[in-house]
Amino acid sequence: MTIAIEKHPCFNDSSRHSFGRIHLPVAPKCNIQCNYCNRKFDCMNENRPGVTSKVLSPHQALHYLQKAMDLSPNISVVGIAGPGDPFANPEETMETLRLVREHYPHMLLCVATNGLNVLPHIDELAELQVSHVTITINAVDPEIGSEIYAWVQYRKKLYRDTNAADILLDNQLEALRKLKEKDVTVKVNCIIIPGINDRHVEEVARTVSELGADILNCLPYYNTTETVFENIPEPHPELVAAIQRETAKHLPQMKHCARCRADAIGIIGQENSDEIMKELTEAAKLPMRPSENRPFVAAASMEGVLINQHLGEADRFLVYAFDEQKQAPVFIESRSAPPAGGGTRRWEAVASVLGDCRALLVNGAGDSPKNVLKNTGLEVYTLDGVIEEGVKGVFSGKDMSHLMRISQMHACKTSCSGTGGGCG
């Protein structure tokens, strides 16, 4: 299969008026803190300052892409650029890329990252024929990097100062090397921050050029309130132009980057249409995963009538189907819950026991198990009330806020009469 890489409107100036791109906003979290970034908004390294995009699950994103392709058939590239960092959300990012590749074999795939955690995924990126990767590298000197990054979270540990900048830089440069070994086209973004790295950008350009980067995008820093850098003025356009001239000695320049929002779609520079924004909103309301293969709903209950057990204390789950004709739940069976303890492994075991269930109704659950289960396609509802009503609510999509209201008032763990197993 040949993928026409010249159709990328960001990497090829000549394609930008005829081909469009779509960003799929599936990556909300970030694993570093840049001193110019306010995380109320999209990632500042690639996206438009001050804009907040919606977040979709991989399956919602695929649905959105299908609708977007109907409205904008000239889309040649699917990119993931936030709203956080794609590889701070590797499961969501990789699943989205797999789904898109499966359904659109000729589509160009592109990701934009801070580079901290892309390395472990490069082999699969290459297998999926992800042809374009952007890494934002603002400094190749850890002393300068330590002024730009407040912290870096790497392998579950938090680093600060030059340690943080060192770890980030090592991973960025190693990722660049490996991406080039795999023949991926790499753009490097460098944010010009006056007084911090403006005299250092040429050094960045020289270093990344030696490692094989294909193109450099020197972006002016954007002043944002509630950030460490909020008092630093934006660089003058003449300074930006001078840096672009200087760094052009080392690398071709991208000058038409529009810093699109993390859910941008269409020709670069054009606003998202109302029609497409409506599709995005609708996609966000869909189930996180398709539920055709999940015909059941499970509940945690002591006596089989009320939803009155916390996830952490349930020793069995009651599984129900739904009789569409009678509009009534049908009890199927009782399944043993995995034993207490084991942290995330316990929740993965619950996901496996309830692999054919679309929802689990409990009286309380911690955020951590909820997230683990949600990522496997099992939505956890914390409800107070009769099982029958909850099961009906899930299958019919009816409002269940009257069941939720009471349980939301109990903080997690305060309502657990528990076994001490806890919710992790």
Helix axes 58-71, 274-285, angle to 10 degrees: 150
Contacts of 327 (CB under 8 A, 6+ apart): 392, 396
Which region among 156-164, 224-232, 253-261, 344-352 touches ligand SF4 (by CB under 6 A)? 253-261
Site string (15-34) toward ligand SF4, x via CB under 6 A: ------x--------x-xxx
What number of H helices and E strands is found in the chain? Answer: 12, 17
In whole angstroms, the minimum distance from the beta carbon of 191 to ligand SF4 comes to 8
The one-character DSSP state at 215 is E
Our finding on whether 360 is near ligand SF4 (CB under 6 A) is: no
- In one-letter notation, the amino acid at residue 97 is L
Q: Which stretch binds ligand SF4 (CB under 6 A): 37-45, 117-125, 197-205, 410-418?
A: 37-45
Within residues 54-83, the interface with ligand SF4 by CB under 6 A covers: 79, 81
Task: Give all strands (DSSP E) within 315-389, no chain letters.
Answer: 316-323, 328-336, 357-362, 379-382, 385-386
For ligand SF4, give the closer residue by CB, 258 or 302.
258
Positions 91 through 120 that interact with ligand SF4 (CB under 6 A): 114
Interface pick for ligand SF4 out of 99, 228, 268, 406 (rule CB under 6 A): 268
Task: Give the span between the Cα atoms of 408 and 294, in whole angstroms.
Answer: 26
Indicate the residue among 88 and 387 with the shorter CB distance to ligand SF4.
Answer: 88
Contact 120, 7 (CB under 8 A): no
- Nearest Cα neighbor of 190 from 182, 198, 179 is 198
| Min separation Cβ 180 and ligand SF4, Å | 19
User: What mask, x for binding ligand SF4 by CB under 6 A, covers residues 305 to 344?
Assistant: ----------------------------------------
How many residues lie near ligand SF4 (CB under 6 A)? Answer: 21
For residues 36 and 417, give the distance between their C-alpha atoms in angstroms, rounded to a whole number: 45
Could you say whether residue 186 binds ligand SF4 (CB under 6 A)?
no
Tokens of 354: 């309830």
Asked if 260 touches ligand SF4 (CB under 6 A), the answer is yes
Cβ proximity of 15 and 7 under 8 Å? yes
Which one of the spans 43-51, 316-324, 386-394, 401-409 is the region binding ligand SF4 (CB under 6 A)?
Answer: 43-51
User: Hey, which residues between 190 and 219 contact ligand SF4 (CB under 6 A)?
Assistant: none
Q: Are strands 32-34 and 149-154 parallel, antiparallel or unpaired?
A: antiparallel
Shortest gap between Cβ of 37 and ligand SF4 (angstroms)?
Answer: 3
Instruction: Give the C-alpha separation, 302 to 28, whole Å.
Output: 37
Task: Between 81 and 357, name the residue whose CB sits nearer to ligand SF4.
Answer: 81
Q: With beta carbons less than 8 A apart as the criterion, state whether 249 and 271 touch.
A: no
Q: Please, what is the minimum distance in Å from the beta carbon of residue 172 to ligand SF4?
A: 11
- Candidates 22, 26, 44, 139; binder of ligand SF4 (CB under 6 A) is 44
CB atoms under 10 Å from CB of 297, counted, come to 29
Burial class for 381, CB neighbours closer than 10 Å (0-12, 13-18, 19+) = buried
Q: Which of 7, 259, 294, 358 binds ligand SF4 (CB under 6 A)?
A: 259
Contact 205/250 with Cβ under 8 angstroms?
Answer: yes
Q: Which residues bind ligand SF4 (CB under 6 A)?
A: 10, 21, 30, 32-34, 37, 43-46, 79, 81, 84-85, 114, 257-260, 268
